[in-house]
Structure 1
Amino acid sequence: MFKPSSYSWCCWCHVPRVQDHPTATVHHLTHVPENEEEKELLAFNLAQDLGAGTEDRPFIVYRNPHETNRAALKRLRFVCMSDTHNEIGKISIPDGDVFVHCGDAVKHRTSARDLRIFNEFVGQLPHKYKLFVSGNHCVCLNPQQPEQSQKILNNMTYLQDQSIDIEGVRIYGSPWRPKRGCFYRAEAFGYDAKRIREDKWSKIPEDIDLLLTHGPPYSIRDYNRSTGDQLGCPALLDEIVTRIRPRIHLFGHMHSCYGASLYKSEDNEILEGDHMKLNSNNILFINLAIHQGKTFNQPTIIDYFY
């Protein structure tokens, strides 16, 4: 489990580095992260069953894995993305029921102006529901005044440590990440790594279908190619796999790790410990980061049956 000793600290800029924390074993469904290419974890049979996250082959996820008769179930289609950094107008956005953006819609230097432009753009989309979780570039948003952020983003539902029920599907959104040092200017919603679990992640309810954050959990699509580190949050990983257990976790932040991975309890006995529940804790993790420099990834499509 997460403890302050999970981190070592780079003293000159106070950047946390994870040490001696169990990593998650996952099956990559799309886009194997570059730091894991040699592990050959791509599960072709799982990918065939779950889909590819495209408009033609959306990911298919059931609230109850044992109830898969689609004709007897309700469905919501989620159209999901993150890290568009002022380029959302260049992306083809399919129609669906719920538009999801997991943060960094703008760049930090011009966030106050561009977040309003982003809000206007999203207001023109046809989706009935629109959800937004802030990212580290949204430095114009005051974490102490979420009601003011909601006024700025009035064409969508702004989620800062909040739940929302959409036609019976329960979703929770939170923008926090372990904070870096003063060297980093795009540092909105950075939080003390020693306190983030108790103050933030422990407050996430257990009865949710989808979890939205900006940053990834530790060891799941969180690789930073410039430093060679995995920069996800150990406390978030522990809470997700031992207590919260959502069906889907959506995030972004680490641009080069775009793609989807499936977590299965049976592969993670060391990580889950006494909380292990075989065959009851499959979680679809998706890094939604769109912006790839001069190129763009596509939105991820999920059909959720419940």
Structure 2
Amino acid sequence: MAGTITTKVMIISDTHCFQFGDAEKVRGHFKQPLPKVDIILHCGDLTERGGLKAYQDAIRMLSCINAELKLVIAGNHDLSLDGPYWYTKGCDPEDPEDYAEHEKGIEILKGPLAKEAGVTYLEEGLHTFTLTSGAKCTVYASPYQPEFFPDFPGIDIMMTHGPPEDILDWVASPPGTTVGCQALLRAVSRARPLLHCFGHIHEAYSATVVTWKDDREKIGADAIEARSPQPSVYPDSSNRPIKFGKETMMVNAAIMDVNYNPRNSPWLVDLELPRAA
């Protein structure tokens, strides 16, 4: 495609302290050797409940993946990475070490260990990267559910921890219940990125392509024209063309299944990213 560069993206989420070698014990698919990719996206829940050693171990796990750009956000299990929560509800304010875990955890995710592993920790907001191939990647990242999503033009990828409403958000119990965020669906319907990736709901691991209506005034569920479920073809990558502004590939990339066994494969997607000026 003229003006774009084909970029291979690996998407994972909800690894919950996973280390390579674990998957083989339960016949999982997330194991070495992994395909070489241009970008890896981790959509949160690196750990079971935070902890400095757990953050360090997660960085070491990501260091084993061959990718030029490794982008990571926090999830709800990564408790101490959420400063407002940690200082008000999560820590023991009388314990200096416990109280300091948020600051030290962020230092791990942004410090020398992460840099050596090639990991970039993203907090709420818009981020732009240029790959050595010349591809430019614009990412909106949020570990939360953004209630008021700005109308940023030209977003290629949205990374959130949880799913939007009624898209890969069903839970096993009670059957038929969906738990996705309505505000997030409104946000993604306004941004219409090439890719929206998330996790959080292990049992809803899957992918679908949403086709949006031409009417840009339509927001949320009213903006959806059609959905097309996508099969996982791992270790190959999906090369289904995504029409920018018209379609979004939605990916729930939880590696752990509902029983917290690492049975799910990463998602591999070839995206046509714009060429940097």
Q: Give the TM-score normalised by structure 2.
A: 0.68
1:206 aligns with 2:157: no
1:77 aligns with 2:47: no
Matches of 1:247 and 1:285 in 2, distance apart?
9
The match for 1:99 is 40
The match for 1:253 is 200
- 2:55 is paired with a residue whose SS is helix
Letter in 2 for 1:117: D
Question: Cα deviations across residues 225-261 of structure 1 (Å, max 9, x unaligned)?
Answer: 11342110001101211x2111110000010111111
Shift of residue 270, structure 1, vs aligned partner: 11
Mapping 1:147-296, distance limit 5 Å:
149-154=105-110, 155=114, 156-167=119-130, 168-177=136-145, 196-198=146-148, 202-203=149-150, 205-228=152-175, 229-241=177-189, 243-266=190-213, 272=219, 280-292=245-257, 293=259, 294-296=261-263
Letter in 2 for 1:233: C
Distance 1:149 1:170, change over 3 A: farther
Question: Cα deviations across residues 76-103 of structure 1 (Å, max 9, x unaligned)?
Answer: 2111100111124232232111111101
Moved more, 128-137 or 263-272: 263-272
Shift of residue 215, structure 1, vs aligned partner: 0.1
Shift of residue 272, structure 1, vs aligned partner: 3.5
Letter in 2 for 1:218: E
Matches of 1:204 and 1:115 in 2, distance apart?
33
Gaps of 5+ in 1: 1-67, 178-195
- 1:224 is paired with a residue whose SS is coil
Contact kept? 1:149, 1:158, Cα under 8 Å: no
The match for 1:140 is 80
Contact kept? 2:71, 2:122, Cα under 8 Å: yes
Q: Give the TM-score normalised by structure 1.
A: 0.62
Letter in 1 for 2:37: G
Letter in 2 for 1:169: C
- 1:103 is paired with a residue whose SS is coil
Contact kept? 1:161, 1:204, Cα under 8 Å: no
Matches of 1:277 and 1:238 in 2, distance apart?
11
Shift of residue 111, structure 1, vs aligned partner: 3.5
Distance 1:151 1:205, change over 3 A: farther
Distance 1:269 1:166, change over 3 A: closer
Distance 1:267 1:86, change over 3 A: farther
Contact kept? 2:52, 2:104, Cα under 8 Å: no
Distance 1:150 1:283, change over 3 A: same
Distance 1:216 1:204, change over 3 A: farther
Percent identical pairs in the alignment equals 27
- 1:113 is paired with a residue whose SS is helix
Shift of residue 271, structure 1, vs aligned partner: 6.1
Gaps of 5+ in 2: 24-29, 87-101, 131-135, 226-242
Question: Cα deviations across residues 23-55 of structure 1 (Å, max 9, x unaligned)?
Answer: xxxxxxxxxxxxxxxxxxxxxxxxxxxxxxxxx
The match for 1:61 is none
- 2:127 is paired with a residue whose SS is strand
Shift of residue 265, structure 1, vs aligned partner: 2.0
Letter in 1 for 2:51: S
- 2:83 is paired with a residue whose SS is coil
The match for 1:125 is 65
Letter in 1 for 2:269: I
Distance 1:222 1:209, change over 3 A: same
Shift of residue 276, structure 1, vs aligned partner: 5.4
